[in-house]
Amino acid sequence: MKAIVHDESGPADVLRLSERPVPDPGPGEVRVRIAVSGVNPTDWKSRSGGYGAFSGTESVPNQDGSGVIDAVGDGVGGLAVGDRVWVTLAAHERPDRGTAQEYTVVPVERVFVLPDGAGFELGAAVGIPAITAHRALTVAEDGPERLSPGALDGRVVLVAGGAGAVGNAAIQLARWAGATVIATVSSDAKGALATAAGAHHVVRYGGGADVAAAVRSIAADGVDLVVEVAAGANAATDTAVLKPRGTVAIYANNGDVPFNVNVREYMGLNARLQFVLLYTVGWDKLRAAGDDVNAAIAAGAFRIGGDAGLPLHHFTLEQTADAHRAVEDGATGKVLITVADA
Q: What is the pLDDT of residues 80-91, one digit of tens each?
A: 999 999 999 999
Q: What is the length of the chain?
A: 342
Q: Is residue 263 part of a domain?
A: yes
- One domain, residues 97 and 14: yes
Q: Which of 41-55, 169-183, 226-240 has the lowest mean pLDDT?
A: 41-55
Any domain includes 287: no
pLDDT at residue 55 in the model? 65
Q: Mark whether 74 and 211 lie in a shared domain.
A: no
Using the predicted structure, report yes or no on whether residue 200 has a pLDDT greater than 80.
yes
* pLDDT single digits (tens) 146-171: 999 999 999 999 999 999 999 999 99
Among 17-26, 187-196, 253-262, 265-274, name the one with the lowest average pLDDT: 253-262
Q: Which of 278, 294, 315 is the last residue of a domain?
A: 278
Q: Could you tell me if 145 and 216 lie in one domain?
A: yes
- Residue 293, domain member (yes or no): no
Radius of gyration of the chain (CA): 20
Provide the pLDDT confidence category of residue 207 given band limits of 50, 70 and 90. confident
Q: pLDDT per residue over 279-324, tens digit each?
A: 999 999 999 999 999 999 999 999 999 999 999 999 999 999 999 9
pLDDT at 53: 61
Is 68 in the same domain as 182? Answer: no
239: in domain: yes
Same domain, 162 and 252: yes
pTM listed for this prediction: 0.97
**Most distant CA pair in the chain: distance in Å?**
60
- How confident is the model at residue 243, as a pLDDT? 98
Shared domain check, 140 and 114: no
Predicted pLDDT at 51: 77
Kindly tell me if the per-residue pLDDT of 33 is higher than 90. Answer: yes
pLDDT band at 342 (very low <50, low <70, confident <90, very high): low
Query: With b meaning 16 or more CB within 10 Å and e meaning fewer, what string describes 285-301?
Result: bbebbbebbbbbbeeeb
Check which CATH number belongs to the domain holding 319 and give it.
3.90.180.10
215: containing domain: 131-278
Is 119 found in the same domain as 199?
no
* Average confidence (pLDDT) over 218-229: 98
Report the distance separating Cα 169 and Cα 158, nearest Å: 13
Which residue pairs from 18-27 have beta carbons closer than 8 angstroms and sit at least 24 positions apart in sequence?
18/58, 20/60, 20/96, 20/101, 22/102, 22/103, 23/97, 23/103, 23/104, 23/105, 24/71, 24/73, 24/105, 25/71, 25/72, 25/73, 25/76, 25/105, 26/73, 26/74, 26/105, 27/73, 27/74, 27/75
Residue 213, amino acid: A
pLDDT of residue 24: 97
Q: Are residues 145 and 113 in the same domain?
A: no
> How many structural domains does the chain have?
2
pLDDT > 70 fraction of the chain, expressed in percent and rounded: 98
Region 212-232: mean pLDDT is 98
Taking only the tens place, the pLDDT of each residue in 52-85 is 766 678 999 999 999 999 999 999 999 999 999 9
pLDDT in the model for residue 29: 98
pLDDT reported for residue 341: 77
Domain identity same for 119 and 144: no
Q: What is the pLDDT at residue 208? A: 82
Q: Which pLDDT does position 54 carry in this prediction?
A: 67
Indicate whether 68 and 146 sit together in one domain.
no
Same domain, 140 and 175: yes
Residue 233 has pLDDT above 90, yes or no: yes
Res 57: pLDDT = 82
> Is residue 27 situated within a structural domain?
yes
